Every structure is written in structure tokens, then in C-alpha cells.
Chain A
Amino acid sequence: MNKYASDLSRRNLLKSVACGFGSLALSGLQQANALYSNSLLARTALFPQRAKRVIFIFMAGGPSHVDTFDYKPELLANDGKKIDFVGVRTNTFGKASKRTLMKPLWDFKQYGECGKHVSSLFPNIAKHVDDLAFVHSMHTEGVAHGPSTLFMHTGATNLVRPSMGSWISYGLGTENQNLPAFVTISPSSSKGGPRNYGNAFLPSIHQGTALGRAGNVADAKIRNVENPMLNSEQKKNRFNLLQGLNAVQSDSLSNDDNFEATIQNYELAWRMQMEAPELTDLTQESKLTQRIYGIDQKETEDFGKQCLLARRMVERGVRFVSINYSDESANPRWDQHSNLPKHSVHARATDKPVAGLLQDLKARGLLEDTLVWWGGEFGRTSFSQNKDGRDHNPRGFTIFLAGGGITPGVSHGSTDEIGGVAVDKCVHMHDLHATILHALGLDHEKLTYRHSGRDFRLTDVHGRVIKELFS
């Protein structure tokens, strides 16, 4: 904790952050401790910082790993064979039953210099395999969407804990004081909802700023920066009157930091009114760029816009951006308990935009210090459910990382022969969290916050950095 504190004087800090997006919660500014927790001032990491920012591409519902990136010839060979499976859900907990293996429904081909097998679901992402690092041995907590989605975002299935983006905002602040440090684009209000980007007990400036709602990227804007009810003349007159009144009212009571900060925040808000709409205005991008993200095509338009928004944010110094491929229904998008062929709809909607994002980040030199994380809350079973679907699988699944100092073109760990359970170099979700913090130069055991008498961490008392992923 102390390592995150510093000897900045209180006044200096006020000066430097008073014009920041989340700048001040002055009441807590009595201890060095509180200085950092309550500001978004950019801070230096503890050890070499490979990544400066994170883009998390959330595939809600749990994409099937054996049909996408986890190539299992044995599963193909044993299609239709019965296996014993021990249940993990409430009514089947610990009970063995016979299940029927189902082969991958898509063909795999090798790509890139690393020769990575990728299924025909992701032909565009496949072109980037030499930039990606796959973790095939993921496992996590929870079996239902709610608990697992919360666990992936906060490291807890039930208790209210800060989201990973909030921890990173708390640990590193932001590089652009005019924007929030942690943004989530089009999040779903179900399966954990706002808790997935909530600050919990961390100071509220670390809360994720939600832009819009799931399924409606047109709505993805910072709130209250635009005001169609007043014309610019009215706005200006009212603003001048307001700041005039504030000056009079603070004049009579000198030496109040709260007043000073409130007035400065109005100034900043005034500037943001001019600048923030620009941030989400995608028409400023060239036709070519829009095409790279698939914005010109109907099926990729929505997610393409999310991906492009994410690039504009990290470019401007936002620390943590979540992109959500999700909706508001009881069965999230990738949740094919039946009709697995529907995976192709979701693959088509996301493949080109994600590939476009990777290409664009690389071309702009942003991939070097931006860590991209692609994945769902869990994977899917190798056996079938309802004839042509697959059930949730928290015991073995795949995610990939890119950029931010991660060794490209590698595959880490593995599931068993049929892709059922992680067996080699297993990586728990806590471990992945620890690893991402490590890439950002943060020590997951030292990034703590004292709440109600206890030092809390994103990784609770667990987590192990996967050193092999860094060269």
C-alpha cells in the first residue's frame, strides 16, 4: 500500500489534479494513502510496465473453445462416443452420468508462422495468430452465467467486490484527465450488471463509466455532455452567471478546498462539453478505417463500432476499456445449449471487428503497450446437450491475449485430449488477473485497499503470475 503513496504535498496534488475528470474527493485528503486512492493522477508502476492500458473484449455467454481455438483431433475421432461426466450444477452436483461427445462443428486450418490451428469460425482473427498468445488451460469459479461473469470481472462470485478496471484505475490513475480512467462500452444490465464495472468499496472515482446499453452502440456516449434543450447562447449566459455566483459565494468563505474544486470542476465540465462529443463521433474516422472494422457491413457494424470506439479511447489515454458482445436476455449471446451452429452468427459479428482492432492498434504502434484480452466467462463442454448444443464449462476453456509485452505466437497450457478439463499448466481466473496486473507493472499482492479493517485485493488470497507469457 505504502508503495502507492508518495510524498506529494497536498497543495501540489490539488493543483495538478484539480482539473481532472475524477479528480477530487477532498474530504479524504488527509493521509498520503487517501491521496492516491481519491485521485486519477497518472502514477508510475512498481516494476517495468509493459502495458499501459487494457482492452477487454468480453464474449458473453461462453464461446466454445473446442469449436474455435482449442484444436482437438481426438474429439473429432470420438464423435458420438459416451463418456462419464460428473455434474457441477446444483441438482447433478457430484453425480456421474453418461454424456455423448460431439465433434467440433467447424474445420480447423493452420495459420501463421506459428502454425496455430484455428477453426473456420474466425478466418480474420486467424490472420493475426502470430500476434496472439493463447491460454488453453483456463478454469474459473461458478457454473451459471451470473456468478462466473462476476468472477471474471471482480474475482468474486457472490460478495460485492471492485471490478478489475476499478483496481487498475486505483493503481495507475489515468493519462487523460479529461476522460474517465475506466470505460465499459454497451454493457449488459443482467448477469451481474453494474457490479461488473462497479467500484464497490473503492472511492467512487474509480467506478467504470458505462457508455450506453447492451445491443445499442448508437447510445454509447458520455452522459450529460450534450444538452439539446438550450442553445449555445443560453448555455454560455447561464454558465457565466453560475460561475459569477460561485465566485461571490466562495469569496466570503476563503480557504475552502471543496469550493475551489467544485468551481474548477465546472470549468472542466464546460471544456468537456466541447471535447467529449468528439470522442464518440466515429464519422471523424476515414472510410478505410471504418471498413477495416467492418462498419460498412450490417452484421459487423455494431461490434465494429464498439471496437473502433475502444481504439479512440485508448489512443486518448483511457486506462481500461471493456467491449461487450452481450445482450439483455436470460441466455447471453454465445450461450448455445442447443443449436451450436448459431455460433457462426456470433463469430461473423465479431471476427472482422476484432481483427480490425488488432490490425489498427498495430499499425498505430498502440499494440506495443496496449494489452488486449479476448474471452468469455467460461467455455463449453465437449459433449452435446439437447442434441446439437453444448453446456457451460468452467473447468477448461481458452482465452487469448495480445500486445502489452505478452510473447506473441505462443500457446500456453492445455486441456485434456477432448477439451474437457484443463490439465497442463492450469491457469485459474485469479492467475489471469494477477498476470494482467503484472503486465501493467502492478503487483497483485501489493495492490490493496483497506476497507472495514482489512486489506482487499483483486485476487483475494490467490493468484499466480504466468511468467512464461512474458519474454
Chain B
Amino acid sequence: MVRFKSAMYFLSRIVILFWIFRFVCLNFNLEAEVKERNFWAFKPIKHHMVPTVEDETWSTDPIDSFILAKLEAKKINPAPVADKHTLLRRVYFDLIGLPPSPSQIDEFISDHSSNAYSKVVEKLLASRRFGERWGRHWLDVARYADTTGGGRNNPFPNASRYRDYVINSFNQDKPFDRFIMEQIAGDLLPSKSELEYNENLTGTGFLALGPHNYELQDKELLRMEVVDEQLSTVGQAFLGVTIGCARCHDHPFDPISIQDYYSMAGIFRSTNSLVPGNVASFHERELRDGYKVAREKHDETLTSLQEDLKKAMAVIKAAGGEINRKQRSVDPLTLKGIVIDDTQAILEGEWVSSSHTSGFVGKQYLHDNAKEKGSKSISFKANIPVKGEYEVQVSYSHGKNRSMKVPVTVMHANGEQKVYIDQTKPPSILGVFTSLGIFTFDQRESDVVQITTEGTIRHVIADAVRLVSIKEQKQTNVISLDQYIDPEKGLLSKERLKNAERQVKKLKQEMEDLKKNAPPKVQKVMSVREHKNTSDSMVHLRGEIRSPGSVVPRGFLVVATPKNRSSFAKIPDGASGRLQLAKWVASSDNPLTARVFVNRIWHHLFGQGIVRSTDNFGKMGDRPSHPKLLDYLAQFFIQNKWSVKLLIQKVVLTKTYKMSSSQYSKKDSNNELFSRQNRRRLQAEAIRDAILLTTGKISFENSEINENRSLFKKIDRNEIPEIFDVFDYPNPGLVTGKRNTSIVPTQALFMMNNEFVIKHAGLVGEKIHADKNLGTEQKIKLAFLTCLGREPHEKERKLAVEYLKRSTNKKEGSIAIDGLVHSLFACLDFRYLN
């Protein structure tokens, strides 16, 4: 007994020792992180005195003094202020992404008042084009796209609402801390109006836009992949740290532990981002619009009309039914249009063939036996002879044991559309087909319809698919049920149907009228929700989801939390903690958030950040070239209510911004110290927009949205438009604060030979050529003004004259001017910003 007691005592000691050891280790870990607070990026933002400089006349702003002090210390002279032409072109592209028009240039050059430049800046900041330019910068960071990309490239039909939300936010000069809150936790913020509610909700699209492979079969892994992507994106976009590294082990370089990772991952694991399914999906949530009641009433009326219609349709069915009894199925050879029977379809999973219930196409139909739901599918491939619109119909033999919500996906030329059909109801066309709607198809052989069993409970039937060309329907000019009947075969008696048809027509007309006056369709945005089961997360050892470690309370990065505060979040029951995370990120106490964003602004205005690695402020990133200036800007930003416009205005008015880019100093050859402006290559969108502007396809004056502007192009992650691809458009699956700027021959080839460039050069050339009042010299001048916003230098003028002489000899007329414009689109001064 005594022996037993002592053994127990001994054991308990070991246990206690173990716990002390664990505690020490944990604290040691925390202690290590605390030590890392000495790394510059994790230190609190500090107030610094504006340095004194020798040349006091140079500075116009404290920013200039911070820059000049460093230059003076190295005995480097700052570059002179750029000439007015250069400066105007620079500030136009930087603020609105477009070049100034010849008249805007005239106005500025001839305005000799001292505030001529600041007036331009004010005008540009107030322009709607400002949000389009700066919104696009943020969309790079938000890895924005209109499809998932990857394996099964699903469209994001409502992603553009997030895009427009971003543009509007920059145009309204929404305080940046608010902008952060909305994107991480907009769905959880209180709102005073429907408008505010909608705006908040739309912001959360940020979390939902990731490039996920929703068909990943291991759904627990998919869930964690989504969490990881959200966490990494928040980390890089707002904090400039690579949290994702700590998924499998403590961060190798930065003070981010695996506990930190799962502490934050717990927040996103408690957030519901996935709609389950064999191919899972993202959440879409409804916006509020004041039509809720009207919509309900409308639906009610519609339902009662549908009931009446059903009764009338039963008559038609009875008429057709008699024939069906004699003839249980429809011979596909008697049908018009393109018919694909189940025997030609491609099956996934076990399907059972049957002819038990009448009303099908061909010799049989297939059913899934109501087993292994979600794993079975069937695809119908069609050979489309001519590109055009087709009505897509599917057939099924209806019955009580069928599923009421069978998911059917139509894969058409513009994407995919999912439609649900109710297989308990009799099909309306010929007693076998039901219409899925009208879609456009390209001329080729491809899958057109896929029926799956996901989300269904009872039997799913797959029988045949039919595509009826709309053009052919229109040609025969018959819009009635007859169009589906081959008169020679006389499948249905026309006379019997006529009465019922009339009745159906009338009811349909009523429904049509009702639909015309229907309240607007409910609008949806991509978003997330709080998870039903919110909880702290376990550490996944080595990042493997099935190797659980200890549970860590939800919270934030220890190292970026002020010393005297706990890094664990106080989260109410049932909440994910996203709201708390949003507040922590958007806090002025967070040493990273403001620094990271002011550095992004600086990067876009100078072509390089004060911290060159815009998305990585950690140890593997670059150190700031001007740490005090960075803190000064961050403080200014916070003190001015996180106003983006105010900070941009302040920076572009400095001497530093206005410097010429053509000075070359050996002592600062890489321009580490900002002894000059950087010459920058225009980004893909700016090149395309500048070309469109010369032909008037887009305009600056037009204050409405310019839909032709590049940033409104749909971004399919699997098919980036060629001009974007060639000119370093960022990978829309990754956070990008700093675009690559390569110089490759594909760019030269594009400018020389691509149809887009040549066509637009032709349009401009034609316009110039058409003006009979202009002589050759004036035409050259106009071409330069239109394309480069300046008159030709003497040498350029001579080259142009010679070229025109050589080409006009061959009687090419306007083509010669086209060539001049084409060369101007491709030349250095068009592609670069000085």
C-alpha cells in the first residue's frame, strides 16, 4: 500500500514537473516572440522629428526634408523638377491611369499661376477615374478574378460587385481602416441603412474570391485550404507578413509560431466559406433593396397562376397521354434538332438503365437507383454545326419517386449555368422534354449538359438532351407547341391540342404580364457566414489535417499585438472572431497595417516602395530605405482618419515626386535614396486604355463608368486577355502588391503585329487623314499630340516626313498615317512614363 502511495506521489511529481516544463516552454516561446518585437516592423510606429537640411529652399514638405537629409549626407544632388509636359503626363497616369488630352495639356502649359499644378491634382483626385486606377491597385492585392480558375473553372457571376465596391470606396475616400473592417467582417458590422448593409456585405467578397479547387474530393482538406488561403491573403494584403508559412511548423524566419497560425486559423475555421457538394461552392448572400414584401406578394400570385397552368397542362398531357400509352417512348429519329440520347452520354458512377415508366426518348432511360448521391454524373456531348442560340431541353420520365431538385448544368459559350428541374412534374414539351432556357453555343464538339445527383434524395433520371436552334425556329416563324412536332410522324393530334393550347397561352400571357411588372430580381454578392459550430482550432502537426495537436484559443499574432495586451481574442459565444480580428488589424496600434498601406501608396507613385518588398515586411523582406519617413507617413495617415486621397495628394505635391527621372547619379545608381523619379513602364491596362483613348473608345470627360476601360474586362483565371498576359498582368490567384515588369520580345511582337494595335492605329490614322485642311506637317503634329501628348522633336519630325514620303510614293494614303500612329504606339515614349 505504502509502495503504491509513494509510486503515486512519484508519478504526480512527474506530472507536475511536466506541466512546469510545458509552461516554461510555452512562455519561452512567447518570450522569444517578444524579443522579436525589436525587429523594426514590429516596433510601434514612432514620432520622428523632421530632419534639418542644408538647402532649406528645396523642401516644400516634411517628406522632402526626410529625403533630402539622406541625399545631403551622401553628397548627392536631387534631380531637378521635371518639365511641365513630363510632370503632367506622370501625374495623370499615376492618379487616373490615363494620359492627358491635347486640350488638357494646353490648359496646363498656358496656366502660369502658382497653383496650376495643385489645381490639376485636385481635379484628378475628384475624378471618377481616380477610383478606377487606385481600385485596380487594390484588386491586384485582393487577387481579384471572375472565375475560380484551376481544375474546374467555375464562374463568379457576382464578383464584379466587389470590384465596383472597391472602385467606389476609393472614389468616396472611405477611411482605410473602415475599408479593412468591411472586407474582413462586413457581414458582422451594424448598419443604419440598407445601403450601408449592402456595402458592408459586398466588402466580404474579399474573403470569398480565392482560387479554390472546389472539386477537391477530400472536403476536410478543402476546408483547411480555404482557411489557409484566407489567412495568408489577410496576412499579406494588410499586414505584409507571410502567415501561411506557419501552417506546418513555426515560421522559419519571422516570429510567427504554429500556435499563432492556428490561433488565427480558428477564426476562419469558425467562418463558413463553403457550400458543400461533390463540387463544393462559395456562398452568395442577398442584398437588401426594399422589395422584400413586394417580391413575396409577387411570388404568391405567380404560384396561383402556375397552379391554374398546371391544370390546363394536364389537359394537354391527357391529349398526348393517349398516344404515349400506345407508344411508350419517342423515337429520337422523329425529333427535330440535335438529340443526344443517354446511350451516347458519358457516365460517371453506376447508372441503371430502365424502360419501366413511359415517357422517354429512345429505348431506355437511366436512373441513379437513389444511391451514392453526389458521386454520379452524366455528360452529354453535342456537335454544334453553327454558332448561335439554342433552346436546351432535357427529357425524363416523371414520377412520384423522382427528385424534385435535380441539378443540371448547361455548359454554353459564355460559361456554365446551373438549373434545377423537378422530375416529379410531367415535362411540358411532347410529354418528355422540359426547357432549360436559351443559350449560345460555339461551333464545336463539346459537353453541353451535365446532370448530377448532388443534393438529391430520391431517384434522378437521365434520358436525353435536345438542342433546338432558335434561328431555325424564327425562320419558320411558328411559335407554338407545334414547333416540336414533326408533322409527318403525327406524334400528337393538333386538333386535340388546340383548345388546351389556347388556354395555356392565355395563362402564360398573364404570367408574362406579371413578370413584366415584377419587382427587381434579388441581387447577390459573394460572401461568407459565421459557422454554426464556432470553436478554437487544434494545431495540425506538420500541417496535416488528420494529425491533431493541442487546441489553441483564437486570437492574433503575438508579435504584432501591443506588449501590454493579450493576443487572445475575447470572442462572444457563437461568433467566429472575425469582427475582433478586423478590429485588431484596423487598429492604429497595429505596427504593420498603416506602414504596409502607406508603403503601397509610395510604391505606386515612385515605382518602388520605401520597403521594396511591398507584401513582405518580415525578415526575408527588404528593410525600409527611409524608416523615419515611413513612420512619418503612417502617422500622418492615421491622424488624418486613414484618408487615402489626402495622403496621395500630399505626396504628389512634394518636390520629391516632381523630380525628373532622367538624371543619373553614380552614387545612387539604383535610386535607393530617391535622388530622382523612376522611369516606369506603363502597366498593361494603361497601355490598352491609352490606345483606346486615342480612338475615343473611352473618354476621360465622360463621367459615367467607361465600360471599355481595361479594369472592367472579365478576368477568367484560366484565360487572361492576351495584352494583359504579355504586359505582366499579375497572377490573379496570388496577392500582388508589386507587379513584375519584364522586357521580353513577346511585347515587341505584340506591339508590331497584334491586330488590336494595328486596328486602332488605323482608326486614328483614318481620322487624321480625313481632315483635308491639314498639310503633311500638321498631320504629323496631330499624330504626335494624339499619341504622345506632345509635338515632335525636330529629329522625330524629320523621320516622320521621310517615312511619309517613302510610303506616300506608293499611294498608300491613310495607310501611311496609320503606320506613323502604329510606330508611335510602339515607341518608347508611349510605353514608358518619364
Segment among A77-85, A114-122, A252-260 that sits at the interface with chain B: A252-260
Residues 202-239 of chain B, each 1 if its beta carbon lies under 8 Å from chain A, else 0: 00000000011101111100100100010000001000
| A200 surroundings in chain B (CB, below 8 A) | 731, 733-734
Residue contact A194 to B718, C-beta cutoff 8 Å: yes
Q: Is B728 an interface residue (CB 8 A)?
A: yes
Which A298-348 residues sit within 8 Å CB-CB of chain B? 328-331, 335, 337-338
Which B804-833 residues sit within 8 Å CB-CB of chain A? 806-807, 810, 812, 815, 819-820, 822-824, 826-829, 831-832
Residue contact B374 to A91, C-beta cutoff 8 Å: yes
Residue contact B447 to A244, C-beta cutoff 8 Å: no
Residue contact A205 to B718, C-beta cutoff 8 Å: no
Residue contact B742 to A204, C-beta cutoff 8 Å: yes
| A249 surroundings in chain B (CB, below 8 A) | 796, 827-829
Segment among B267-275, B286-294, B549-557, B616-624 that sits at the interface with chain A: B616-624
Residue contact B212 to A158, C-beta cutoff 8 Å: yes
> What distance in Å separates the Cβ of A22 from its nearest Cβ neighbour in chain B?
5
Q: Is B379 an interface residue (CB 8 A)?
A: yes
| B620 surroundings in chain A (CB, below 8 A) | 450, 453-454
Q: If A194-B718, A245-B796, A249-B827 touch, does A225 touch B740 (CB 8 Å cutoff)?
A: no
| A144 surroundings in chain B (CB, below 8 A) | 151-152, 215-217
Q: If A144-B217, A252-B662, A385-B350 touch, does A262 touch B719 (CB 8 Å cutoff)?
A: no
Residue contact A24 to B446, C-beta cutoff 8 Å: no
Q: Is B793 an interface residue (CB 8 A)?
A: yes
Q: Is A274 an interface residue (CB 8 A)?
A: no
> What distance in Å separates the Cβ of A220 from its nearest Cβ neighbour in chain B?
16
- Which A residue's beta carbon lies closest to that of B759? A229
Residue contact B278 to A91, C-beta cutoff 8 Å: yes
> What distance in Å separates the Cβ of A318 from its nearest Cβ neighbour in chain B?
15
Q: Please pick, from B151, B225, B793, the residue contacting A248 in the complex, using a CB distance under 8 A.
A: B793
> What distance in Å separates the Cβ of A241 from its nearest Cβ neighbour in chain B?
4
Q: Please pick, from A191, A245, A261, the residue contacting B799 in the complex, using a CB distance under 8 A.
A: A245
Residues 137-167 of chain A, each 1 if its beta carbon lies under 8 Å from chain B, else 0: 0000011111101100000011110000000
- Which A residue's beta carbon lies closest to that of B719? A189
State the CA gap A235–B749 with chains docked (Å): 12
| A147 surroundings in chain B (CB, below 8 A) | 151, 213, 215-217
Q: If A90-B374, A237-B807, A252-B662 touch, does A193 touch B719 (CB 8 Å cutoff)?
A: yes
- Which A residue's beta carbon lies closest to that of B219? A90
State the CA gap A52–B138 with chains docked (Å): 42
Q: If A191-B151, A194-B718, A203-B740 touch, does A331 touch B800 (CB 8 Å cutoff)?
A: no
| B796 surroundings in chain A (CB, below 8 A) | 245, 248-249
> What distance in Å separates the Cβ of A387 from its nearest Cβ neighbour in chain B?
9
State the CA gap A461–B248 with chains docked (Å): 10
> What distance in Å separates the Cβ of B673 from its nearest Cβ neighbour in chain A?
14
Residue contact A145 to B728, C-beta cutoff 8 Å: no
Residue contact A246 to B819, C-beta cutoff 8 Å: no
| B826 surroundings in chain A (CB, below 8 A) | 242, 266
> What distance in Å separates the Cβ of A301 from its nearest Cβ neighbour in chain B?
17
Q: Is B150 an interface residue (CB 8 A)?
A: yes
State the CA gap A295–B796 with chains docked (Å): 52
Q: Please pick, from B151, B741, B750, B799, the residue contacting A145 in the complex, using a CB distance under 8 A.
A: B151
Q: Is A224 an interface residue (CB 8 A)?
A: yes
| A190 surroundings in chain B (CB, below 8 A) | 152-153, 718
> What distance in Å separates the Cβ of A201 from its nearest Cβ neighbour in chain B?
6
Q: Is A466 an interface residue (CB 8 A)?
A: no
Q: How many residues of B contact A (CB 8 A)?
A: 104
> What distance in Å separates the Cβ of B21 from its nearest Cβ neighbour in chain A?
29
> What distance in Å separates the Cβ of A43 from its nearest Cβ neighbour in chain B?
18
Q: Is B346 an interface residue (CB 8 A)?
A: yes
Residue contact B718 to A189, C-beta cutoff 8 Å: yes
| B755 surroundings in chain A (CB, below 8 A) | 229
Q: Please pick, from A242, A328, A452, the residue contacting B236 in the complex, using a CB distance under 8 A.
A: A452
Residue contact A224 to B746, C-beta cutoff 8 Å: yes
Residues 723-751 of chain B, each 1 if its beta carbon lies under 8 Å from chain A, else 0: 00000100101110000111111111110
Residue contact A158 to B447, C-beta cutoff 8 Å: no
Q: Please pick, from A93, A204, A235, A386, the residue contacting B218 in the complex, using a CB distance under 8 A.
A: A93
> What distance in Å separates the Cβ of B175 from its nearest Cβ neighbour in chain A?
27
Residue contact B215 to A269, C-beta cutoff 8 Å: no
Q: Is B252 an interface residue (CB 8 A)?
A: yes
Residue contact B740 to A25, C-beta cutoff 8 Å: yes
Q: Is A288 an interface residue (CB 8 A)?
A: no
State the CA gap A171–B241 with chains docked (Å): 27
- Which B residue's beta carbon lies closest to that of A262? B743
Which of B381, B661, B744 has the most A CB atoms < 10 Å from its CB?
A: B744
Q: Please pick, from A195, A250, A329, the residue contacting B828 in the complex, using a CB distance under 8 A.
A: A250
Residue contact A143 to B806, C-beta cutoff 8 Å: no
Q: Is A283 an interface residue (CB 8 A)?
A: no
> What distance in Å separates the Cβ of A430 from its nearest Cβ neighbour in chain B?
15
Q: Is B146 an interface residue (CB 8 A)?
A: no
| A252 surroundings in chain B (CB, below 8 A) | 662, 793
| A256 surroundings in chain B (CB, below 8 A) | 679
Residues 185-222 of chain A, each 1 if its beta carbon lies under 8 Å from chain B, else 0: 00001111111001111011100000000000000000
Residue contact B151 to A24, C-beta cutoff 8 Å: no
- Which B residue's beta carbon lies closest to that of A269? B748
Q: Is A286 an interface residue (CB 8 A)?
A: no
Q: Is A47 an interface residue (CB 8 A)?
A: no
Residue contact A265 to B346, C-beta cutoff 8 Å: no
State the CA gap A146–B832 with chains docked (Å): 40
| A234 surroundings in chain B (CB, below 8 A) | 807, 812, 815, 819
Residues 238-266 of chain B, each 1 if its beta carbon lies under 8 Å from chain A, else 0: 00011011001000111000000000000
Q: If A245-B827, A453-B254 touch, does A157 touch B213 (CB 8 Å cutoff)?
A: yes
Residue contact A193 to B718, C-beta cutoff 8 Å: yes
> What distance in Å separates the Cβ of B547 from its nearest Cβ neighbour in chain A?
14
| B800 surroundings in chain A (CB, below 8 A) | 241
Q: Is B708 an interface residue (CB 8 A)?
A: no
Which of A235, A241, A389 has the most B CB atoms < 10 Å from its CB?
A: A241
Residue contact A224 to B750, C-beta cutoff 8 Å: yes
Q: Is B681 an interface residue (CB 8 A)?
A: yes
> What distance in Å separates the Cβ of B811 from its nearest Cβ neighbour in chain A?
12
Residue contact B347 to A389, C-beta cutoff 8 Å: yes
State the CA gap A254–B720 with chains docked (Å): 35
Q: Is B7 an interface residue (CB 8 A)?
A: no
> What distance in Å separates the Cβ of A169 from its nearest Cβ neighbour in chain B?
13
| A24 surroundings in chain B (CB, below 8 A) | 742-744
State the CA gap A263–B751 with chains docked (Å): 12
Q: Please pick, from B211, B217, B218, B745, the residue contacting A268 in the complex, using a CB distance under 8 A.
A: B745
Residue contact A331 to B743, C-beta cutoff 8 Å: no
Residue contact B743 to A23, C-beta cutoff 8 Å: yes
Residue contact B745 to A269, C-beta cutoff 8 Å: yes
| B236 surroundings in chain A (CB, below 8 A) | 452
Q: Please pick, from B149, B248, B253, B679, the residue contacting A258 in the complex, using a CB distance under 8 A.
A: B679
Q: Is B314 an interface residue (CB 8 A)?
A: no
| B661 surroundings in chain A (CB, below 8 A) | 253
> What distance in Å separates the Cβ of A148 from its nearest Cβ neighbour in chain B?
9
Residues 410-438 of chain B, each 1 if its beta carbon lies under 8 Å from chain A, else 0: 01000000000000000000000000000
Sample (20) of A-B pairs whose CB atoms are under 8 Å apart: A25-B741, A26-B743, A89-B278, A144-B216, A147-B215, A194-B718, A195-B718, A195-B733, A224-B746, A227-B753, A237-B819, A238-B822, A241-B800, A241-B819, A249-B829, A269-B745, A269-B748, A331-B447, A450-B620, A453-B245
A452-B244, A453-B254 given. 8 additional CB < 8 A pairs?
A: A157-B213, A189-B719, A203-B742, A223-B746, A245-B829, A337-B346, A452-B615, A452-B735
Q: Which residues of A contact B (CB under 8 A)?
A: 21-27, 30, 38, 88-93, 142-147, 149-150, 157-160, 189-195, 198-201, 203-205, 223-227, 229-230, 233-235, 237-242, 244-246, 248-250, 252-256, 258-259, 261-263, 265-266, 268-270, 272-273, 328-331, 335, 337-338, 385-386, 389, 450, 452-454, 461
Closest 9 CB pairs of A and B: A146-B151, A193-B718, A269-B748, A160-B733, A453-B620, A227-B753, A25-B742, A224-B749, A453-B242
